[in-house]
């Protein structure tokens, strides 16, 4: 039987213009043998969800540094549900205060990576929790 190649979408929702973190993580996924669909900056939740569905990714990794995570990230989860695509896991990284993490998780975000997380840890989390 053929094997599934893991596919992950990496993108940046909203208006902040700093994508170095997203690029570093995308590169780490590449080196771990994943196919990374990189959508780049300034994506709306609608664009992210449409892209994830068209690309049939297993998970979505969102980098957010703007402070709008409590608005944009639950919106992505909600749109996925509306499209019957909430089997696609969403995780995120960025400047996210500890206090906001429980709320994000109850909104459907599977994991939150805060500053200082190593790329190895992120890759290991994906390999453990995401299956094609």
Partner 1 sequence: MGLAEKILQGDIRAAARLMRDVDDGFTSSIDELKQLYPHTGRAYLIGITGPPGAGKSTLVDQITAAYRKLGKRVGIVAVDPTSPFTGGAILGDRIRMNRHADDEGVFIRSLATRGCLGGISRSTGDVVNVMDAMGMDVIIIETVGVGQDEVDIVRMAHTTTVVMVPGLGDDIQAIKAGILEIADVFVVNKADRDGADRTVRELSMMLEMGERAPGEWVPKVLRTEASRGVGIDELVAEYEAHRAYLHTSGDIHRFNSEKNSTILMEMLRDRLFRDIYGRIASNGTLAEILSGMSARETDPYSAVDAIVARYLTGADARVAG
List residues near partner 1 by CB under 8 A: 1-5, 7, 26-27, 29-40, 43-44, 46-51, 53-56, 83-85
Question: Using CA atoms, how far apart are residues 40 and 38, in angstroms rounded to an integer?
Answer: 6
Closest approach of Cβ 112 to partner 1, in Å?
23
Closest approach of Cβ 48 to partner 1, in Å?
8
Q: Which residue's CB is nearer to partner 1, number 4 or number 106?
A: 4
Q: Which residue's CB is nearer to partner 1, number 47 or number 71?
A: 47
Closest approach of Cβ 81 to partner 1, in Å?
13
Quick count: other Cβ atoms within 10 Å of Cβ 45? 20
Query: Residue 119: is it exposed, middle or buried by C-beta count within 10 angstroms (0-12/13-18/19+)?
Result: middle
Element (H, E) at 60: strand 59-64
User: Locate tokens 């590449």: which residue?
Assistant: 30
Q: Which residue's CB is nearer to partner 1, number 24 or number 97?
A: 24
């Amino acid at each position: 039987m053929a094997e599934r190649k893991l596919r992950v979408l990496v993108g940046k929702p909203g208006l902040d213009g700093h994508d170095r973190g997203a690029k570093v993580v995308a590169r780490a996924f590449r080196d771990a043998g994943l196919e990374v669909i990189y959508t780049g900056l300034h994506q709306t939740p609608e664009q992210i969800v449409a892209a994830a569905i068209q690309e049939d990714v297993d998970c979505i990794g969102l980098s957010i540094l703007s402070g709008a995570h409590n608005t944009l990230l639950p919106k992505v989860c909600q749109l996925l549900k509306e499209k019957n695509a909430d089997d696609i896991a969403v995780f995120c990284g960025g400047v996210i205060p500890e206090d906001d993490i429980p709320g994000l998780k109850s909104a459907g975000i599977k994991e939150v990576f805060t500053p200082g997380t190593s790329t190895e840890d992120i890759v290991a989390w994906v390999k453990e929790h995401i299956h094609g």
